């Protein structure tokens, strides 16, 4: 009897200590800093709330990827202090280009000059890390000479690719929310929070499973977020939900020390590092590389029905 109880206890302990759950690690990153104002708060309120939310959620270190060119926009002027406040709170900053161009549109030379222009502002600042996050995650994956010219330029400058592995679709939720707000529609804020949290958790779980199946290990995931009102309002809820699903939130420094950080995958799917590695060297994708909730049409539909409580579109009658 005692022996049985001991074995049951041992089994329970081993289940708790299962490596699958223990190794789900994720770091947070926020792009487009300083970003256009959102629907609900001033940029200063947004920064204050975001810092407070991360502190309350015990998230020690995230990355803010800066577009110094935004400081020259009417809505970005004078916001250097907000960037410094993130760093004082323990977070780090990286290069997101000067003015957020599409590499595929402007070509390698102009793009590299844009990186250098941002570096002039960033180099030597407290909290700076030599990481480059591609705007739009556009690495010119189907234009090999352009892709490789930028890769060589990054190596020359000792800049590491600030890749992502998980998408939160927050920019789209922020855009839909602003549109609804500006047109006087009623926004169900609890439903907005729940939709955002669901996208974050499902996207992280999907990436974890994809890594498990294709890389046969669990790299530290890096989630793409933005400096939006959505994050200022709900990032602590997303963190709590991730933890409830067995995730450990780790500093972004730890994420970019992962072995996958050094890779330069030869793949047309460079917008997610795990998707890129899963398809490197011409391997066909084992399945969809991202979940349905990373699709714009799916998120927009969910927003309209769940957050704006619009009637769901009627499904077409099934064909016999």
**CB-count exposure of residue 281 (10 Å: 0-12, 13-18, 19+):** exposed
Cβ density class 47-77: b for 16+ within 10 Å, e for less: bebbbebbeebebebbbbbbbbbbbeeeebe
Degrees, nearest 5: CA angle 182-75-52: 85
- 3-state SS assignment for residue 291: coil
Stretch that binds Zn ion, among 32-40, 175-183, 240-248, 286-294 (CB under 5 A): 32-40
Q: Quick one: which segment of 29-37, 81-89, 183-191, 201-209 binds Zn ion (CB under 5 A)? A: 29-37
**CB-CB contact of 200 with 242 (8 Å):** yes
> Does 174 contact Zn ion by CB under 5 A?
no
Residue, CB closest to Zn ion: 31
Residue 218 or 228 with smaller CB distance to Zn ion: 228
Q: Which stretch binds Zn ion (CB under 5 A): 26-34, 49-57, 152-160, 311-319?
A: 26-34
Identify which of 70, 33, 67, 66 has the alpha carbon closest to the alpha carbon of residue 50.
33
Q: Which is nearer to Zn ion, 37 or 246 (CB)?
A: 37
Cβ 94 to Zn ion shortest distance, Å: 11
Nearest approach in angstroms of CB 112 to Zn ion is 17
- Find the shortest distance in angstroms from Cβ 31 to Zn ion: 4
- Options 24, 32, 121, 205; binder of Zn ion; rule CB under 5 A: 32
- Interface with Zn ion: number of residues (CB under 5 A): 3
Calpha distance 144→266 (Å, rounded): 9
**For tokens 């708790």, what's the residue?**
16
Binding mask 116-155 for Zn ion (x = CB under 5 A): -------------------x--------------------
Residue closer to Zn ion, measured from CB, 31 or 170: 31
Q: Which CB atom, from 205 or from 227, has the smaller least distance to Zn ion?
A: 227
Using the rule CB under 5 A, which residue among 26, 31, 222, 230 binds Zn ion?
A: 31
Query: Is the Cβ–Cβ distance between 168 and 203 less than 8 Å?
Result: yes
Counting every residue written for the chain, the total comes to 320
Q: Which tokens in the block code for residue 256?
A: 């970019």
Q: Applying CB under 5 A, which residues contact Zn ion?
A: 31-32, 135
């Amino acid at each position: 009897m005692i022996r049985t109880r001991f074995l049951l206890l041992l089994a329970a302990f081993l289940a708790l200590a299962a490596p699958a759950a223990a190794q789900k690690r994720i770091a947070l990153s926020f792009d487009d800093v300083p970003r256009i104002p959102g629907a609900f708060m001033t940029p200063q309120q947004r920064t204050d709330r975001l810092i407070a939310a991360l502190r309350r959620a015990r998230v020690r270190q995230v990355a803010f990827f800066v577009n110094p060119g935004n400081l020259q926009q009417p809505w970005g002027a004078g916001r250097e202090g907000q960037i410094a406040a993130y760093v004082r709170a323990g977070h780090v900053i990286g290069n997101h280009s000067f003015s957020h161009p599409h590499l595929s549109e402007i070509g390698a030379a102009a793009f590299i000059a844009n990186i250098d222009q941002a570096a002039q502002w960033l180099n030597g600042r407290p909290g700076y890390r030599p990481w480059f996050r591609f705007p739009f995650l556009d690495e010119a994956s189907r234009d090999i000479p352009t892709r490789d010219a930028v890769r060589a330029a990054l190596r020359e400058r000792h800049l590491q690719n600030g890749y992502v592995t998980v998408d939160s679709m927050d920019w789209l939720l922020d855009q839909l929310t602003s549109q609804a707000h500006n047109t006087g529609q009623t926004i169900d804020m609890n439903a907005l929070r729940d939709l955002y949290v669901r996208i974050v958790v499902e996207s992280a779980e999907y990436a974890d499973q994809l890594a498990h199946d294709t890389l046969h290990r669990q790299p530290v995931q890096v989630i793409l977020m933005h400096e939006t009102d959505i994050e200022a309002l709900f990032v602590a809820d997303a963190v709590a939900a991730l933890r409830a699903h067995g995730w450990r939130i780790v500093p972004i420094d730890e994420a970019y020390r992962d072995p996958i950080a050094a890779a330069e995958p030869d793949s047309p799917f460079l917008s997610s590092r795990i998707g890129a590695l899963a398809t490197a060297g011409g391997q066909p994708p084992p399945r969809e590389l991202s979940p349905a909730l990373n699709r714009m049409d799916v998120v927009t539909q969910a927003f309209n029905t769940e957050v704006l409580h619009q009637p769901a579109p009627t499904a077409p009658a099934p064909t016999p």
